[in-house]
Structure 1
Amino acid sequence: MKEDDSMGSHKSIKDIPFSVLDLAPILAGGTPSESFRNTVDLAQHAERWGYNRYWIAEHHNMPAIASSATSVVIGHVAANTSKIRVGSGGIMLPNHAPLVIAEQFGTLESMFPCRIDLGLGRAPGTDQTTSYALRRNHKQDAQDFPEQLAELRTYFDPSMARGKIRVRAFPGEGLDIPIWLLGSSGFSAELAAKEGMPFAFASHFSPNNTLPALQVYRRFFEPSEFLEKPYAMVGVNVIAADTDEEAQLLATSLQQQFLNLIRNQLVPLQPPVESMEGRWTEYEKAALQQQLGGSIIGSPETVREKLDHFLEETEADEMIVASQIYNHKARLRSYEILAEIIKS
C-alpha cells in the first residue's frame, strides 16, 4: 500500500482526507435493526459528501453499540455503497484467531476489491469477563499482539513466514489488504513504526497521549514495502450544528455515554439533556475532560477554527471523525457541515 504523505507545517484541512468512524449506536428506545439502517444511511451520505473511509469499531457487551460482529457490518456497508473504502476501526485481534480474521477479510476483499481496510487493535474492546467469554482462556492477551500480527500477515503473504506454511487462508492468501495498527498509547505507535505500517491514533478518547504517540511513530518509522513514509490518521470527536448552543446540547449524549461507562452503567445511547450540571460529580467531570477534552463541538465557524488548530498540532495525514449523536438527522447534519467546512 502506498499512501501520499503530505507532512508539512502549513497543511490545511482541505489538504487531507477525512473519514468516518461509526460505532453503530443503539439508541434509547431503539433497536439494533434501526442502528444498522442508520449506519447504511450515514455511509451512503458520507460517500456522496466525499469522505475517504467508513470504519466500524468492535465492542462487546455494550448495549449502546451494535457493531460487535464487525466483519458482518463491514460487508453490509460495503454492499450498500459503491466506492468509499470500508474497514475496521478496529478489529481487536486478541479476541480472535488470526486465521479467522484473514479468512473474513479475505472474503470481504474478494467481494469488494480494493475497498477493504483492516485496522487492528490490541485492547479487548470490552471487560475482562466478556474477554474470557470471547477467548475461552486466559493465555491469549495483548502481550501476544506482535506475534498475532505476524501470524495474520503470513496468511496474506506466505513469503513473510519463517518456516513452512501448514495452514493457508482461502480467501485471503495473495490479497493486498491494507493493514493499519490502532492505538491509544505508545505501544502500537512504536510497533507500527517498526513494521512500516500506517497508524491510527484514538485521540477521540485519549487526547493527552496523542502528540507523544505520534512523535514516537514518526521518530522510529522504518520504510517498508507497504509504506515509504509515516502515515498517521487521528481520531477525533466532532459534533457540529448550526449554532454553538445546539452542538453543545447534542454533545450531552456523548458525555452521558462516557459518564455511564465510568459508573459501569451499561445502557443505550441517551437523548441529549439541557445541562450536565447536577448529573456528574466534580471528579467525574474531570475524568470526562481527560477522555473527551479533545472533542470539537460547535457551529461551523467554531469547528473550522478548532480543526485548524488540531491539524496544526498533530500534522495528521488524515482525520477520522466519530460523532455519537442521538438524533440521526442531527448526526447526518453534523457530518454534512464538516464536509462543507472541508471543501470551502
Structure 2
Amino acid sequence: MSATPLSILDLSPVPAGGTVAGALRNTVDLARQAEQFGYHRYWLAEHHLAAGVASSAPAVLIGQVAAATSAIRVGSGAVQVGHRTALGVVEEFGTLDALYPGRIDLGLGRSGQRRTELAAEAPGTGPAGAESSPAGDPAPPTEERVVGGLLIPPPFWYAHLVGSPRFALASALLHQPGAQPPPFAGQVADILALLRGDYRDADGLDAHAVPGEGAGVQVWLLGSSGGESARLAGALGLPFAANYHVSPATVLEAVATYRAAFRPSAALNRPYVSVSADVVVADTDARARRLASPYPAWVRSIRGGGGAIPFPSPERAAADTWTDADRDLVDDRVRTQFVGAPDTVTERLRVLRDVTGADELLVTTITH
C-alpha cells in the first residue's frame, strides 16, 4: 500500500501563560516545519469566543501561512458559513487563490448554522457535532464498539450546551440582529456557482465575484455525522473530511453516508475522504502521556460550556480536582486521543485509516 498523505489541522492554541500573538507566531512556524517534513496540507480551524484558541479568522491566517511557505496546500477546516455570505467567502478565498494560486483549500462547515438552529430549539438530545437528519436516517449505535481495533465510543450528548447562556451569546454575536442563515445546501450551491462564474438569482440576474470567479480553490465539506454535510459532499462529488477527533462515535456513519451518496463530478471521479485524529507524539510513550495530560481539562472547559481555556501545563493539570461527572464529560475524547512514541501512534493511525478507508489523515496536536 502506498503511503497515506498526512495533513495538519491547527487551532492556534494559546498555552497557559502565553499570548495570542505568540500562538499565531507558533502557527506560522509550525506551518514552515510541516512543509519541510512533507505534510500534504495545512488547515486552520475557526473558533470564536475561546480564550485558549486564536484561530477565529481562518482566511487571515491562511494568508499568513501561505506567505511563509511555498508549496504546501493551505486551507480552512472549516469556514462556518452560517454567519457568512456566499459572496464574502468566495471573495476572500478568491483573493487568497490570486495571491497563492493552486494552493488554497476552501473547507466549508455547517456548525455555524447548526448553532443558530439549536439555539432556537428546546435542548436537543443528539450527539455532539451531529447534524439534523431526515426521518428514517439510521442513528449511530449508542453502545461502545471496537471495529477492527478502532474504538468507537458511545455518542456524547450535548443538550446541556444547547441550553447554556454562552451558547446563545455566541449565536447572537456571530449574526446580525434578526438574521437567519439560509439552508446549507443553498449556500454551498451559491459558493460553487460564484466560483464557476454561472451564478443567477431567482430573477435570472447574474453576479460575478471579483476576486473569486474562476479561482482554483479546492472545495471540501466537513462533517461530524452521517447528516447533511456528508450527503451533500457525496451528491456534489466533493471531497469530504470526517471528524474522528471531534465526534468519534459517528465517524463510521459519516464516511459511509458520504460514500453511499457519492456521484462523480468535475472535481472527483471517486470518493475522497480525509479523517481527523487528535495526536500527541514524543520520543517515549511516557513523555507523550505527560505532554497529553492537560488535554482532559481542556476538553472539560469546552464541553462544560465555558469555551476552551488556555492549554494548561502538565504541572497545573496534575493539581486539578475531578468528579465522576467531569470524567464522563471527556471520556470519549480522552480515550480516542492517539498518544505515544512514534511507532505507537503510527500503528493507531494505520488502524484509523484501514477501518474508515481514509485516503488522507488529518492530525491535530495541542500541548502546553
Asked if 1:181 is matched to 2:169, the reply is no
User: Which has the larger displacement, 246-255 or 100-109?
Assistant: 246-255
Which of these residues, 209, 212, 234, is aligned with residue 250 of structure 2? Answer: 209
Asked if 1:103 is matched to 2:85, the reply is no
Residue 360 of structure 2 corresponds to which residue in structure 1?
318
Residue 235 of structure 1 corresponds to which residue in structure 2?
276
Which of these residues, 112, 130, 137, is aligned with residue 100 of structure 2? Answer: 112
Residue 128 of structure 1: how far off its partner (Å)? 3.0
Asked if 1:32 is matched to 2:20, the reply is yes
* Cα deviation digits, residues 160-209 of structure 1 (max 9, x gap): 64763443210001112111000111121111111111000111111110
Asked if 1:197 is matched to 2:244, the reply is no
Residue 301 of structure 1 corresponds to which residue in structure 2?
343
Partner SS, residue 78 of structure 2: strand
C-alpha separation in 2, matches of 1:174 and 1:61 = 34
Name whichever structure is richer in helix by fraction. Answer: 1
Residue 29 of structure 1: how far off its partner (Å)? 1.3
Which of these residues, 108, 132, 143, is aligned with residue 172 of structure 2? Answer: 132
Rate the CA distance shift 1:201–1:273 in 2: closer, same or farther, 3 A.
Answer: farther
C-alpha separation in 1, matches of 2:266 and 2:94 = 20
Structure 2 unmatched ranges of 5 or more: 116-165
Residue 288 of structure 2 corresponds to which residue in structure 1?
247
RCO higher in structure (CA 8 A, sep ≥6)? 1
Asked if 1:159 is matched to 2:159, the reply is no
C-alpha separation in 2, matches of 1:317 and 1:277 = 41
Rate the CA distance shift 1:29–1:174 in 2: closer, same or farther, 3 A.
Answer: same
Q: TM-score, normalised by structure 1?
A: 0.86
Residue 293 of structure 1: how far off its partner (Å)? 3.0
Asked if 1:260 is matched to 2:260, the reply is no
CA contact (8 A) 1:252 1:273 kept: no
Residue 277 of structure 1: how far off its partner (Å)? 8.9
CA contact (8 A) 2:222 2:240 kept: yes
C-alpha separation in 2, matches of 1:160 and 1:236 = 37
Residue 148 of structure 1 corresponds to which residue in structure 2?
187
Residue 156 of structure 2 corresponds to which residue in structure 1?
none
Aligned length: 313
Q: TM-score, normalised by structure 2?
A: 0.81
User: Which has the larger displacement, 242-251 or 100-109?
Assistant: 242-251
CA contact (8 A) 1:244 1:297 kept: yes
Residue 278 of structure 1: how far off its partner (Å)? 6.2
CA RMSD of aligned residues (A): 1.9
Partner SS, residue 119 of structure 1: strand
Residue 222 of structure 1 corresponds to which residue in structure 2?
263
* Cα deviation digits, residues 219-264 of structure 1 (max 9, x gap): 2211111110000000101101111111111112322111112223
Rate the CA distance shift 1:96–1:157 in 2: closer, same or farther, 3 A.
Answer: same
C-alpha separation in 2, matches of 1:104 and 1:241 = 37
User: Which has the larger displacement, 161-170 or 172-181?
Assistant: 161-170
C-alpha separation in 1, matches of 2:232 and 2:321 = 40
* Cα deviation digits, residues 92-123 of structure 1 (max 9, x gap): 01121111110000000000000000001010
Identity %: 40
